Structure 1
């Protein structure tokens, strides 16, 4: 009985690990394309996807932010002479190139 339970449990963990969405994280990425804070990856939970927020001023990228985001949606808006661009995607590490 214990061997069967362990086998099923291992199989379940393997399936969950394989199907989990993984996203890049960087809480402060500069114009030089270097992550200054929070570099790594996150595993998206229920209703989460990979998200990138890019902030432009005068059409020049100032900084970006990458995380797993709940209820993410693509969005672009202007505020205080800056343009904020949210992009969402749903395959592993897709927010690295968004």
Structure 2
């Protein structure tokens, strides 16, 4: 019984490990919560994760951008009276939520 459990556990882990990460793409999403350009999905390659970039002005979302991004990292900075929020995640379609 223990052998069977180990084999099933190994196979499950293997299947999960090779399942590709899928992300939402949108190259121009407006304040109206509508993708204007590049809507679809991408499959993350090696060292890629799902990424979302949101641009705020006066704490109001102006634009957002979503793609698969290599060597992604979370980052927030201010530039010319705008706040740029760069977020990364690693589960399917997670960049639509962040």
Q: TM-score range by the shorter chain?
A: 0.7 to 0.9
- Extract unaligned runs of 5+ from structure 1: 1-14
Supply the distance in 2 between the matched residues of 1:50 and 1:86 (Cα, whole angstroms).
Answer: 11
Question: If the length of structure 1 is used for normalisation, what is the TM-score?
Answer: 0.82
Q: What residue in structure 2 maps to residue 24 of structure 1?
A: 24
Q: Which runs of 4+ in 1 moved over 4 A?
A: none
Deviation at 1:89, TM superposition (A): 0.1
Q: What residue in structure 2 maps to residue 4 of structure 1?
A: none
Deviation at 1:76, TM superposition (A): 0.1
- Extract unaligned runs of 5+ from structure 2: 1-14
Q: What residue in structure 2 maps to residue 78 of structure 1?
A: 78
SS of the aligned residue for 2:33 comes to coil
Deviation at 1:66, TM superposition (A): 0.1
Supply the distance in 1 between the matched residues of 2:81 and 2:21 (Cα, whole angstroms).
Answer: 34
Question: If the length of structure 2 is used for normalisation, what is the TM-score?
Answer: 0.82
Alignment of 1:6-85 (within 5 A): 19-85=19-85
